Every structure is written in structure tokens, then in C-alpha cells.
């Protein structure tokens, strides 16, 4: 089995026995912000949240509000999550080496997975505290809770907005976005709990609202956990139909067979493909690979294809994936 996973590109390289191999790295055309924009977003988000954690923890302690203290703890986990995501984004831009031919792109997948786990752990801790407080509800300083939590809505909302665009295309950025959007939701719930407490004097509302918020965030985080775990084990990225890719490759002029087809994520925004194409007529020329790379990038979001041409299909013992039709 002859897969070339080096980062260098070569077109039309001829092997013995008439087998051709070509690696095509098509130019990217991502509409998402560039590295400098993300650096700015991460720096602003981390700075704002560190300042808010200090303020919220102080006033949460003074006001005796579990919701505020829990939100401060969650904000602290968000700071860690943002630092993790930023580090992964920076690592993913490191150049490939002879020891790591794809660089550190997978760091973004691992950071997204860690962010999901961090969120779930934080919500678990919040739920435990809320259950304990429900057994012995305590009064809280309603206006203090409302004002501090309202500031949290603003800070977390602004930070989430910084990552909103990239959350659609990059799972690592989506993890950062979900962290901040979840925090904004928590703070909004705390505001609501404070208003209702002032109106009706329900001391049980603070921990109950914390439980409801925790449940909502867990449900929202589950998709991030599932996707990042899937990509960590080289799963086909969401939105790519392996059968459709196979059929499209098979439909290309001169192609009579496709085997050893693999599609996986190098990172949270980069997808790779390897495939053997059986072409009895021989090597199709560089124009064939250029067009192949262009369509794979535009139609399937695959920017790192490696294609091997074979005159006759070779059984190299690599099992074909089961693709339900």
C-alpha cells in the first residue's frame, strides 16, 4: 500500500509498473477571519473574563448567591477553555517537520474535546452545589445579583460574538464560542432569578435556576463532545458523505474503479483524503489533478487530497470501509 502523507506537493510523479501518484494541495478560500483576528478575539475574551471572574466571585460571596458563585466558577473554566483553544489555534499554525509531517493541526481537535469535557465537568459541579443548596435555601442580595449578572451577560455576549463567524467552520473556535454563549446564558438566568426573587421572595429559585441552566448547557455541549470525539478517532467530518465522494471520483473520465478511499480531519478546519483510482488508459496528466483538487475543495471542503493512479487495481490488503447505500 503506497500512501504518501508528506506535506510536499508533487504532480504527475511516475512510479514503476505504470502506477502514478499525485498529491494536490489546493489553495484555500476560507471566508473566516485570519490568525491575527483570532489572536485579538482570544486576548480580548481572556482579559474580560479574568476581570469579571474576580468581580463576580467577590460580589457573589458578599451577596450569598450560589448562582453568582457558580457562574464565577464557570467563567474561570471558560478562561481555561479560551486559553486551551488559543494555544491549539497557535499550535495548528506551526510548520510541519520531518517528525510531524502534518504539524500540530490535531491540537485543535483535542482542544475542542477538552473544552467539551471541561464544560460538562463544570456543569456537574454546578448541579451538585445546586442540589445541596436546595436542601437549605438561603436569602440573597437581589439587586447585587442582578447588576453583576447583567454585566456578565454583556461581557460574555461580546466575547461570544467575537467567535460567532468561525464557529460554523472550525470546531475549536466553536468550542470557544459555545463556552462564551453558555456563560451569557448562565448570567441571563441569574438576572432572571434575581428579578423573580425580588418580586416574590422565592429563596429556592436561585439553585433551581442553576440546575435548569446546567441542563441546557449540557444538552448544547453534547454535540461538541460527540463531534470532537468522532474527529479524534479519524471519523469522516460532519457534512461529508463518503459514498458521494466515492461515486464522484468513480464518475471521473477514465476512472474504472476507486479503492483505499479514506477521508479524515487533520484539524478542526482542514480535511484530508487519500484514494487509489484505477485508470487503465494510464496517467491522466496534471490538468486532471488540478480539476480534481478544485472540485474536492469547493464541493466537499477537502483541501488536502492525495491520489494514486493505478493501471490495474491492486489488492494491497487494505479493507474497504462499509458505506451504507
Residues written for the chain = 325
Question: Of 197, 232, 267, which marks where a domain is finished?
Answer: 232
Question: Of 205, 232, 259, which marks where a domain is finished?
Answer: 232
Q: Same structural domain for residues 19 and 156?
A: no
Q: Tell me, rounded to whole angstroms, the distance of Cα 306 from its chain centroid.
A: 24
Q: Same structural domain for residues 56 and 192?
A: yes
pTM: 0.69
Nearest Cα to Cα of residue 35 among 179, 173, 157 = 173
96 close to 201: Cβ distance less than 8 angstroms: no
End-to-end CA distance of the chain: 26
Question: Of 232, 267, 287, which marks where a domain is finished?
Answer: 232
Nearest Cα to Cα of residue 262 among 248, 272, 251, 252 = 272
Looking at the 3D structure of the chain, how many domains does it have?
2
pLDDT, tens digit only, all 325 positions of the chain: 333 333 333 333 333 334 445 555 544 444 445 555 678 888 888 898 888 888 878 887 887 776 677 667 767 777 887 888 888 888 878 888 888 888 888 888 888 888 888 888 878 887 888 888 888 777 777 788 788 889 888 988 988 888 887 666 677 788 788 878 877 887 788 788 888 888 888 888 878 877 887 887 788 788 888 988 999 999 999 889 999 999 999 999 999 999 999 999 988 778 999 999 999 988 888 999 999 999 999 999 999 999 999 987 665 656 655 554 4
Axis crossing angle, helix 205-232 with helix 107-135, rounded to the nearest 10:
160
Q: In the numeric block, which cell numbers belong to residue 131?
A: 442540589
Q: What is the DSSP letter of 92?
A: T
Q: In which domain, by residue range, is 181 found? A: 35-232
Q: Same structural domain for residues 142 and 222?
A: yes
Amino acid at each position: 500500500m503506497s500512501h504518501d502523507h508528506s506535506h510536499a506537493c508533487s504532480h504527475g510523479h511516475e512510479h514503476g509498473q505504470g502506477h502514478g501518484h499525485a498529491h494536490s494541495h489546493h489553495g484555500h478560500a476560507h471566508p473566516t477571519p485570519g490568525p491575527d483576528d483570532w489572536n485579538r478575539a482570544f486576548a480580548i475574551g481572556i482579559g474580560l473574563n479574568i476581570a469579571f471572574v474576580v468581580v463576580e466571585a467577590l460580589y457573589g460571596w458578599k451577596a450569598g448567591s450560589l448562582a453568582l458563585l457558580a457562574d464565577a466558577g464557570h467563567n474561570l473554566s471558560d478562561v481555561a477553555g479560551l486559553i486551551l483553544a488559543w494555544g491549539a489555534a497557535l499550535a495548528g499554525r506551526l510548520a510541519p517537520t520531518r517528525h510531524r509531517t502534518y504539524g500540530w493541526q490535531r491540537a485543535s481537535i483535542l482542544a475542542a474535546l477538552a473544552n467539551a469535557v471541561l464544560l460538562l465537568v463544570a456543569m456537574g459541579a454546578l448541579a451538585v452545589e445546586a442540589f445541596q443548596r436546595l436542601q437549605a435555601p438561603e436569602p440573597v442580595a437581589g439587586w447585587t445579583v442582578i447588576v453583576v449578572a447583567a454585566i456578565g451577560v454583556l461581557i460574555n455576549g461580546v466575547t461570544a460574538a467575537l467567535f460567532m463567524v468561525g464557529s460554523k467552520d472550525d470546531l475549536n473556535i466553536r468550542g470557544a464560542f459555545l463556552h462564551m454563549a453558555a456563560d451569557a446564558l448562565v448570567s441571563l438566568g441569574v438576572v432572571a432569578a434575581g428579578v423573580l426573587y425580588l418580586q416574590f421572595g422565592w429563596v429556592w429559585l436561585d439553585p433551581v435556576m442553576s440546575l435548569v441552566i446546567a441542563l441546557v448547557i449540557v444538552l448544547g455541549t453534547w454535540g461538541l463532545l460527540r463531534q470532537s470525539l468522532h474527529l479524534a478517532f479519524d471519523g469522516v467530518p460532519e457534512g461529508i458523505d463518503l459514498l458521494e465522494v466515492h461515486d464522484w471520483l468513480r464518475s471521473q473520465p477514465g476512472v474504472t474503479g476507486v479503492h483505499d478511499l479514506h477521508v479524515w480531519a487533520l484539524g478542526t478546519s482542514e480535511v484530508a483524503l487519500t484514494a487509489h483510482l484505477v485508470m487503465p488508459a494510464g496517467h491522466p496528466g496534471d490538468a486532471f489533478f488540478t480539476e480534481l483538487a478544485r472540485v474536492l475543495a469547493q464541493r466537499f471542503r477537502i483541501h488536502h487530497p492525495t491520489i494514486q493512479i493505478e493501471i490495474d487495481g491492486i489488492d494491497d490488503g487494505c479493507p474497504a470501509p462499509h458505506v451504507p447505500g
